[in-house]
Structure 1
Amino acid sequence: MHILIGGYTKHESEGIYQFDFIGAGNEAHLEQGRNVVKVGGPTYFQKAGDLIFTIKNENGQGGIAAYRRGKLVSQLIHDGSSPAYVGINQDKRLLYTANYHTGMLSVISYDEQGQLTLLDQVKHEDRALGPKPEQDTAHPHYFDETPGGHLVSCDLGQDRVDFYAFKDGKLSHLASYQNEDGFGTRHLVFDPSGQYFYVTGELSSQVNVVKFDEASWMFQNVATYSTIPADWDKHNGAAAIRMSKDGRFIYVSNRGNDSIAVFEVKADHTLKLIQRVSTFGEFPRDFNWDEEEAYVVAANQNTNNATLYARNAADGSLTPLVKNIQVPEGTHVLFTE
């Protein structure tokens, strides 16, 4: 098993690094990382077989690029900022990107060789911006598939979740769910039933539980929970959110409080905080787990380190195993075979 970690390349990082996962139980650890893809600014990426599809940002240009065994095979690059997120459907050979700076959502196809083709784009216009300084324009931060095969985006600038159809190579808007003003809608996850989603508010440091019907596009705001302590008075930005495959636990990273908040999902789909564990570094933008969800790795962007945890599937808790794993400017974590 391996772990890929990439991020910014403003200082020491040269791109995407691979770490070998060694051992099991309390003996589990990561071997020293090695650079496997030399690329500028791979802040988010996906893997399909021997292809890696990554955000690329170099020399005032940004976009998405495909690499095979460390070699560039295709790219879609433009002047200006790169996307912030890349989603993938390997069966359809489709990629989904959200560009935080330009407001653009894109659907891109790829073939067996990794050749990329832009299929369609839509731009989020500045319709109803939030009240906070970070909400100066539309800022889509996430674009991926729903349980029903539609597409969904999260827009931090407009506190909004938008749903789209993609048919005959074209995107069309279907529905919207509005978070409260200043929420800073960032990422979301769907529960196994496909009837609830849990969305993080980066600016409010909250998780909003929403019941929805993907046929009628009816939404019900169930409850909202803080990811940080009630007495926390310093800056914090909630970032990554993940849900265990059994739907029993939600995990959210806090940049500022520098922790992972662990919530139990109760029978009525409301949440109960069961743990808030340190990431032993600063600014954990992302974390991820292996296929069995037995181990978690969190990357701390500002302190160039990562932490390995063991995950208890019965109660959802995380136990630190190895701290201060050296990772330069890490912002995205991906377990691979």
Structure 2
Amino acid sequence: MMLLENNENGYNCFVYVEKWRDFMKVLIGGYTKKTSKGIYEFNFIGADEYAHLENSKNIIEVGGPTYFQKDDNLVFAVTNAGDKGGVSVFKAGANGYEKVDEYLTPGSSPAYIGINRNKHLLYTANYHTGVINVFSYSEDGKLALLASDTHTAKSIGPRPEQADGPHPHFFDETPAGNLVCCDLGNDTVDFYKFDGKKLTLAASYKNEAGFGDRHIAFSKDGNYFYVAGELSSKVNLVKFDENTWKFEDIATYSTIPSDWDQHNGVAAIRISKDGRFLYVSNRGNDSIVVFAINDDHTLKLVQRISTFGEFPRDFNWDKSEKYVVAANQNSDNATLYLRNSDDGTLSPIQKDIQVPEGTRVEFEE
């Protein structure tokens, strides 16, 4: 649209401004150990370099929503309820979000929730208890536990973070509709068949000792996967076949500079929809590293950019993948970037967005 403005000399001039996108929201949840009350909502205002987040408000009050998923008017949030942990379901209504169901068990809460919105299925991975679960949910958000499995110490790694046993950190679907779990304690990627009632281990891929498998992303063609190693600060590229369960270790890439000698832990990993770029967050180096994906699926470093805060556990983008938000857990802030779809690079357009203890980012459109 065209706006008529006065310039510094008092003359009228026309300035072109793209219509602001005031229909989009950004949700950020995280720990509630300090000041956070749960999940916060921001209005996404503007476009291109004028885009920004504003009007933060706490829309769901819940303990420790370090990960959550959204399906229309339902939010499924990791919940820490004192000596119990699990999943709580909130439904949006005229008066805001109300809790409609929860599934809690003694002990710690899960670290991850995956979702299949078409099948109405949820997948949870519990880092501390070693348990992975499959739930179904109704249109009203009612949960039903369908299947469960408990990881054992079959190949515990040498690092201190692995000494106390298995640590499932991710549980979700593969390109062919099987299920996959990353186990940080065992340094494994475990693949499961699910028949609607029972989980059956189909195959396991073993990373190098101390790799610390955290999250995984699959190539656009479904024939390769990239494992994010939290403890090693590496990404491992693997070719695989979901019919024969054969694996081929192709290459491993560092996410941190060669001269980095301080603590770092890799966290989130994502691949753009066009399959051309891979993004990983570094907690310690406090950056997002951008790799170009070559035709043979190998990686080429494109950019390593600051998150302008401390400990970026998660980042995410809108449906167009034009805007990226990274949440910095320890510095209680977030950063908004513009993403260049041609070369994959990120450009910060808003820094120091105040949000307490953020660990999970989700766009709502």
Name the residue aligned to 2:126: 99
Shift of residue 168, structure 1, vs aligned partner = 3.5
Give per-residue Cα distances to partners, 1:158-214, cap 9 Å, x unaligned. Answer: 100000011031110000000000000000000110000011000000000000001
Name the residue aligned to 1:250: 278
Shift of residue 124, structure 1, vs aligned partner = 0.4
Name the residue aligned to 1:59: 82
Pairing partner for 1:10 from 13, 33, 44: 33
Pairing partner for 1:203 from 219, 231, 236: 231
Shift of residue 276, structure 1, vs aligned partner = 0.2
Pairing partner for 1:134 from 154, 161, 172: 161
2:57 matched to 1:30? no
SS of residue paired to 1:309: strand
Letter in structure 1 aligned against 2:349: L
Name the residue aligned to 1:115: 142
Q: Between the two proteins, what is the percent identity of the paired residues?
A: 63
Name the residue aligned to 2:3: none
Q: Do the aligned partners of 1:32 and 1:326 also contact (CA within 8 Å) in 2?
A: no
Letter in structure 1 aligned against 2:319: E
Q: Do the aligned partners of 2:327 and 2:333 also contact (CA within 8 Å) in 1?
A: yes
Give per-residue Cα distances to partners, 1:132-167, cap 9 Å, x unaligned. Answer: 000020000000000000000000001000000110
2:77 matched to 1:50? no
Q: Do the aligned partners of 2:146 and 2:196 also contact (CA within 8 Å) in 1?
A: no
* Structure-2 separation of matches of 1:246 and 1:26: 23
Structure 2: gaps spanning 5 or more residues: 1-23
Q: Do the aligned partners of 2:288 and 2:305 also contact (CA within 8 Å) in 1?
A: yes
* Structure-1 separation of matches of 2:281 and 2:299: 16
Give per-residue Cα distances to partners, 1:48-75, cap 9 Å, x unaligned. Answer: 0100001000222100010012211000
Shift of residue 266, structure 1, vs aligned partner = 0.6
Letter in structure 2 aligned against 1:199: V
TM-score by length of 2: 0.92
Give per-residue Cα distances to partners, 1:205-255, cap 9 Å, x unaligned. Answer: 000000000110000000000000000000000000000001100000000
* Structure-2 separation of matches of 1:22 and 1:219: 45
- Larger Rg over CA atoms: 2
SS of residue paired to 2:49: helix
SS of residue paired to 1:77: strand
Name the residue aligned to 1:292: 320
Name the residue aligned to 1:259: 287
2:194 matched to 1:166? yes
* Structure-2 separation of matches of 1:196 and 1:168: 26
Structure 1: gaps spanning 5 or more residues: none
Pairing partner for 1:217 from 220, 223, 245: 245
2:222 matched to 1:194? yes
SS of residue paired to 2:124: strand
Name the residue aligned to 1:229: 257
SS of residue paired to 1:112: coil
* Structure-1 separation of matches of 2:210 and 2:135: 31
Letter in structure 2 aligned against 1:228: I
> How many residues are aligned here?
337
TM-score by length of 1: 0.99
* Structure-2 separation of matches of 1:266 and 1:186: 23
2:107 matched to 1:80? yes
